[in-house]
Amino acid sequence: MTAKHIVLDGNNLTIDSVVSVARNQSKVRLAKRAVQEVRKAAELVQELVEAGSVVYGVTTGFGPFANVVIPDRKARELQRSLLISHAAGVGEPLPTEVIRATMLLRANTLAKGHSGIRIETLETLLKFLNKGVHPIIPSKGSVGASGDLAPLAHMALVLIGEGQAEYQDEILSGAEALQRAKITPITLDRKEGIALINGTQIMTALAALAVADAQKLVASAEIAAALSIEALEGVQDAFDPRIHQLRPHSGQHQTAQNLRTLLRGSSIVLTSHQRGQNVAEAAQDLQAVITQHPASDQYALTTLLQKVAQIVLDLDRQLAVESKTSAKPLLQQRSSLIATMKRLGFSDSAFEAAYEAVQKTLKVQDAYSLRCTPQVLGAVRDAIEYAAQVVTTEINSATDNPLVFPDEKTFLSGGNFHGQPVAIAMDMLAIAVTSIGTIAERRIARLVDHNLSEGLPLFLLKPPSENRGVHYGLGLAQITAAALAAECQTLSTPASVTTIPTSANQEDHVSMGTIAARQAREVVNNVEHIIASELLCAAQGLDIRALTKPVQLGQGTSIALEQVRKVVPRHTKVAGIEQDRLTHDVLVHRDITALWQLVHSGMLLKKVKIKTSGFDA
């Protein structure tokens, strides 16, 4: 198997291969062993038909008509009628990449040789992939048992020259698409109709692509989080390996390690011990200010100033929780202390410097949205891994009914078409990825709020005094992120707990797996946009910090910021005039969309991974 040619044997397909065929138009062919197995099963179907055996789905009708024996003269009519009657989907057509993934997965399960389909029918399906004939499949209409009947019927219609298909960017009738692609329509024989439509391939195609995107997304979210932690002058203690050794979830360990790797060498994100050393340096700077004070005991004056600043800070913290009445004496005490310092000759700037130094001394830990990043994103990693395992198993499974066992010359009717494994995995994926979005939105909120951002300006904008109030900054990036996070919370309501009986109560428990998969895919897309918004805000925050003091970013975050600024440069043209985004408004939608592409394409992850030693995506 190569990146350009995928060989199907029914047992070894990977999620990466699904992505390669779905998005990169890789060619597909059958393994020799698969051809043999498919022919053996088709021969058994013919033997049983000639022997007059009664076998569900082969010589009988389907569902509630399972007890009706179909005469040979009606067999082919039954196959066509099955497709026509079951092609009842509605809604927007599925994207081309999902349709290609669906056809690939259906071909792979048929290649196992347990469906009874003829080799020419299967090879025609592969021609669709290799020549770019893409059936138009409505996105809604499946309850996930018996598999994805309605949407797969729309796919199969084109095989017989009916339905609609996209070919070379045109929407055509099935017959016209086949004629242009020089593919001969087929006439389905016994068992082939049900073999084509009775399976979980729609939900699993959606699931495979969602998992592939989620795997890139969680690593990209770690990169965005690291940038935000730097922009917010976070404390690195929370990522200390000793903490995570005491809670040995593999995902948590990986995320903590990645954050340490990304932030290695940063002059902004420090341990609490390093911050204490920085406070000593700040005290030295303060000393230089006090040196200008005409007093003999400079040490005593410095100590006095720091003590007063500490008391005023304590008062401010108390004032934040007191009622208006009880706050009055505290305010008087605060004013008295500051007035005393002024009488001693200290300037406002000297006191403010001492106050800020004490504030930094008190910061020993961050808010949960920074500090708990390993615990949250690590749990998401573990959930994505579970979903990937389920999907990998499902794409290599036989999911139609009845199943053919050529070596035993037996047909068995079961329920492998039931989508519950995929449904539960996709519900879990949606819930997990929503957590990426909700915690990222909280970091964005801190970045744009001057009360929480460790000195960054409101909405991450520093306009000239004459433009104050004229430009708004990145406040709406947070609002958009909040809207997307809220939508994700709704979309992550589990679909797999919902069941409505269908098919005259024969199918009295269904999975809703396709709904779960569509929801998970939408959640992933939403959260990619949230991470794009976080990248935009974190980059802006870091650039603002660099205006007032030199900063050294971490080995990984420096690469990430470089990639962000390649896509959304600090200086950009607004109405034909070059503007600095730190001081003027720019089109936020355009920036978020550009950064979404950087995340979704995997390019951000690729660049950071290549240039950051030890980063484990």
DSSP 452-463: TSTTPPGGG---
Q: What is the pTM of this model?
A: 0.88
pLDDT digit string, tens, across residues 397-436 = 999 999 999 999 999 999 999 999 999 999 999 999 999 9
Res 305 pLDDT > 80: no
Is 469's pLDDT higher than 80?
A: yes
Share of the chain above pLDDT 90, in %: 74
Pick the catalytic residue from 56, 368, 386, 472. 56
Give per-residue pLDDT as tens, 63-96: 778 888 988 889 899 999 999 999 999 999 999 9
Look up residue 552 and give its two tokens.
């050294």
| Tokens 């003027």, residue located | 584
Q: What number of other Cβ atoms are within 10 A of residue 229's Cβ?
A: 29
Return the percentage of the chain with pLDDT > 70, whole number.
Answer: 90
Least confident of 23-27, 28-32, 60-64, 221-225: 60-64
pLDDT value for 595? 98
> What's the fold here for domain 5-199?
Fumarase C; Chain B, domain 1 (1.10.275)
For residues 96 and 169, give the distance between their C-alpha atoms in angstroms, rounded to a whole number: 10
Q: Is residue 118's pLDDT more than 80?
A: yes
Asked whether the beta carbons of 155 and 106 are under 8 A apart, the reply is yes
**312 has a pLDDT exceeding 90:** no
Please list, in sequence order, all residues whose beta carbon lies within 8 angstroms of the beta carbon of residue 451, skipping any fewer than 6 positions away. Answer: none
What are the C-alpha distances in Å from 213 to residues 112, 344, 523, 524? 27, 63, 11, 7
Q: Which range (326-335, 464-473, 568-577, 602-611) has the least confidence?
A: 326-335
Give one DSSP letter per residue of 20-45, joined into a string. Answer: HHHHH--EEEE-HHHHHHHHHHHHHH
Q: Which two tokens stand for residue 85?
A: 């009657």
Question: Residue 151 and residue 199: Cα distance in Å, rounded?
Answer: 10
Given this model, what pLDDT does residue 328 score? 79
The whole-number average pLDDT for the span 111-125 is 97
pLDDT digits (tens, 9 = 90+) for 510-563: 999 999 999 999 999 999 999 999 999 999 999 999 998 889 999 999 999 999
What does the mean pLDDT of the chain come to? 90
- Which pLDDT tens digit goes with each residue over 277-301? 554 344 344 344 444 544 445 556 6
In the chain, residues under CATH classification 1.20.200.10 are 210-269+366-394+425-492+520-611
- Strands, DSSP E only, in 133-182? 133-135, 138-140, 164-167, 170-173
How many whole angstroms separate alpha carbon 81 and alpha carbon 244? 60
Residue 573's pLDDT is: 82
Neighbours of 280 (CB within 10 A): 10
Of residues 467 and 107, more confidence is placed in 107
Q: Which fold has domain 210-269+366-394+425-492+520-611?
A: Fumarase C; Chain A, domain 2 (1.20.200)
**176-213 confidence digits (pLDDT tens):** 999 999 999 999 999 999 999 999 999 999 999 999 99
* pLDDT of residue 29 exceeding 90: yes
Please give the pLDDT value at position 281: 47
Range in 91-105, 315-329, 575-589 the model is least confident about: 315-329
Q: Regarding predicted confidence, which is higher, 348 or 442?
A: 442
Q: How far apart are CA 429 and CA 418, in angstroms?
A: 19
**Omega prior to 402 cis, within 30 of 0:** yes
CA distance 403 to 400: 7
pLDDT category, 566, cuts 50, 70, 90?
very high
Give bridge partners of residue 403 from the DSSP assignment: 412
What type of residue sits at position 492?
S
At residue 321 the predicted structure's pLDDT band, cuts being 50, 70 and 90, is low
**Helix 15-24, helix 201-231: angle, nearest 10:** 90
Residue 56 designated active-site: yes
**Segments of the chain assigned to CATH 1.10.275.10:** 5-199
Contacts of 382 (CB under 8 A, 6+ apart): 249, 250, 251
Please name which of 149, 259, 199, 242 lies closest in space to residue 502, comparing C-alpha atoms: 149
CA torsion through residues 430, 431, 434, 436, sign: negative
pLDDT value for 391: 98
Judged against a pLDDT cut of 70, whether residue 215 lies above it is answered with: yes
For range 205-227, the mean pLDDT: 98
- Which range among 152-156, 305-309, 456-460 shows the weakest confidence by mean pLDDT? 305-309
**Which has the closest alpha carbon to 556: 226, 221, 215?**
226
The angle formed by the CA atoms of residues 614, 616 and 617, to the nearest 5 degrees, is 145
Task: Tell me the pLDDT band of 468, cut-offs 50, 70 and 90.
Answer: confident
Whether pLDDT at 604 is above 60: yes
- Rounded Cα gap, residues 496 and 428, in angstroms: 10
Say yes or no to pLDDT of 244 above 50: yes
According to the model, what pLDDT value does residue 360 have? 64
Summarize the confidence of residues 34-46 as an average pLDDT.
Answer: 97
Question: From residue 90, how far is each of 66, 139, 150, 165, 584 by CA, in Å?
Answer: 27, 7, 9, 15, 46
Predicted local confidence at residue 20, as pLDDT:
97
Chain CA centroid to CA 513, Å: 18
Peptide bond into 558 cis (omega under 30): no
